[in-house]
Structure 1
Amino acid sequence: MSGALLVAGTTSDAGKSVLTAGLCRWLARRGVKVAPFKAQNMSLNSMVTSDGAEIGRAQYMQAQAAGVEPKAIMNPVLLKPGSDRRSQVVVLGRPVAEVDAMQYGAHKERLREVVAASLGQLRAEYDVVICEGAGSPAEINLRAGDITNMGLARAADLPVIVVGDIDRGGVFASLFGTVALLEPADQALIAGFVINKFRGAAELLAPGLDQLKALTGRPTLGVLPWKLGLYLDSEDTLALDAPRPDARAPYGRETLRVAVIRFPRISNFTDLDALSCEPGVAVRYAASPGDLADADLVVLPGTRATVNDLAWLRERGMADEVVRRAREGRPVLGVCGGFQMLAHEIVDEVESGAGRAEGLGLLPVRVTFERDKTLGRPSGTAYGEPVIAYEIHHGIAEVEGGEPFLDGCRTGSVWGTTWHGAMENDGFRRAFLADVAGVARRDFTAAPDVSFAALREATFDTLGDLVEEHLDTDAVWRLIERGVPGGLPVVPPGGPRPTDK
Structure 2
Amino acid sequence: MKGALLIAGTTSDAGKSVVVAGLCRMLTRRGVRVAPFKAQNMSNNSVVTLDGGEIGRAQALQAQACGLAPSVRFNPVLLKPGSDRRSQLVVRGRAVGTVGARDYFRHRQQLREVVAAELASLRAEFDVVICEGAGSPAEINLRATDLANMGLARAARMPVLVVGDIDRGGVLAHLFGTVAVLDPEDQQLISGFVINKFRGDVELLRPGLDRLTELTGRPTLGVIPFAEDLWIDAEDSLSTVADAPVGRPLPPVGTEWLTVAAIRLPRISNSTDVEALACEPGVSVRWVSEPSRLFDADLVVLPGSKATVDDLAWLRRTGLAAALTARAAAGKPILGICGGYQMLGRRISDTVESDAGVVEGLGLLDLDIEFADPKVLRRVSGRSLLEGIPLHGYEIHHGRVRRSTDNAWLELAGAPEGSVSGAVWGTHLHGLLESDEFRRMWLRRIAVAAGRSGFVVADDVSVAAIRSDQLDLLADLVEDHLDLPQLERLIDEGAPVDLPTLTAVAASASR
Match in the other structure for 2:395 = 391
Q: Deviations over 1:56-83 (max 9, x none)?
A: 0100110001111221011000000000
Aligned partners of 1:2, 1:101: CA distance in 2, in Å?
Answer: 36
Q: Deviations over 1:273-303 (max 9, x none)?
A: 1111111000011111011121000111000
Match in the other structure for 1:211 = 211
Match in the other structure for 1:499 = none
**1:492 Cα deviation from its structure 2 partner:** 1.8
What secondary structure sits across from 2:186 in the alignment?
helix
Match in the other structure for 1:423 = 433
Q: Identify the match of residue 455 of structure 2 among 440, 444, 449.
A: 444
What secondary structure sits across from 1:329 in the alignment?
coil
Contact 2:333–2:449 (CA<8 Å) still a contact in 1?
yes
**1:403 Cα deviation from its structure 2 partner:** 2.3
What secondary structure sits across from 2:313 in the alignment?
helix
What secondary structure sits across from 2:69 in the alignment?
coil
Q: Deviations over 1:333-381 (max 9, x none)?
A: 0000000001111111111111111111111211000021000011111
What secondary structure sits across from 1:283 in the alignment?
strand
**1:180 Cα deviation from its structure 2 partner:** 0.9
Pairing of 1:278-297 with structure 2 (within 5 A): 278-297=280-299
**1:251 Cα deviation from its structure 2 partner:** 12
Aligned partners of 2:245, 2:146: CA distance in 1, in Å?
Answer: 32
Q: Deviations over 1:231-268 (max 9, x none)?
A: 34233210123764342227996111000111100000
What secondary structure sits across from 1:142 in the alignment?
helix
Q: Deviations over 1:309-349 (max 9, x none)?
A: 00000000110110110111100000000000011111111
Match in the other structure for 1:498 = none
Pairing of 1:95-174 with structure 2 (within 5 A): 95-174=95-174
Match in the other structure for 2:380 = 378
Aligned partners of 1:398, 1:286: CA distance in 2, in Å?
Answer: 31
**1:200 Cα deviation from its structure 2 partner:** 1.0
Q: Identify the match of residue 403 of structure 1 among 393, 400, 407.
A: 407
Identity of aligned residues (%): 61
What secondary structure sits across from 2:502 in the alignment?
coil
Aligned partners of 2:409, 2:127: CA distance in 1, in Å?
Answer: 44
Aligned partners of 1:459, 1:321: CA distance in 2, in Å?
Answer: 36
Contact 2:17–2:58 (CA<8 Å) still a contact in 1?
yes
- The answer to whether the aligner puts 1:477 opposite 2:488 as a matched pair is yes
Aligned partners of 1:456, 1:106: CA distance in 2, in Å?
Answer: 39
Contact 1:228–1:245 (CA<8 Å) still a contact in 2?
no
Aligned partners of 1:386, 1:252: CA distance in 2, in Å?
Answer: 26
Paired letter, 1:417? T
Contact 2:365–2:406 (CA<8 Å) still a contact in 1?
yes
Aligned partners of 2:219, 2:317: CA distance in 1, in Å?
Answer: 51
Paired letter, 1:166? I
Match in the other structure for 1:311 = 313
Contact 1:45–1:234 (CA<8 Å) still a contact in 2?
no
Q: Greater CA deviation, 376-385 or 301-310?
A: 376-385
Pairing of 1:333-344 with structure 2 (within 5 A): 333-344=335-346
Contact 2:43–2:78 (CA<8 Å) still a contact in 1?
yes
Q: Aligned residues, how many?
A: 495
What secondary structure sits across from 1:47 in the alignment?
strand
What secondary structure sits across from 1:194 in the alignment?
strand
- The answer to whether the aligner puts 1:332 opposite 2:343 as a matched pair is no
Contact 2:25–2:471 (CA<8 Å) still a contact in 1?
yes
Match in the other structure for 1:81 = 81
**1:147 Cα deviation from its structure 2 partner:** 0.8
Aligned partners of 1:258, 1:127: CA distance in 2, in Å?
Answer: 44
Contact 1:183–1:494 (CA<8 Å) still a contact in 2?
no
What secondary structure sits across from 1:466 in the alignment?
helix
Q: Deviations over 1:136-167 (max 9, x none)?
A: 10111011111110000000000000000011
**1:399 Cα deviation from its structure 2 partner:** 4.7
Q: Identify the match of residue 367 of structure 1 among 369, 377, 385.
A: 369
TM-score normalised by the chain length of structure 2: 0.95
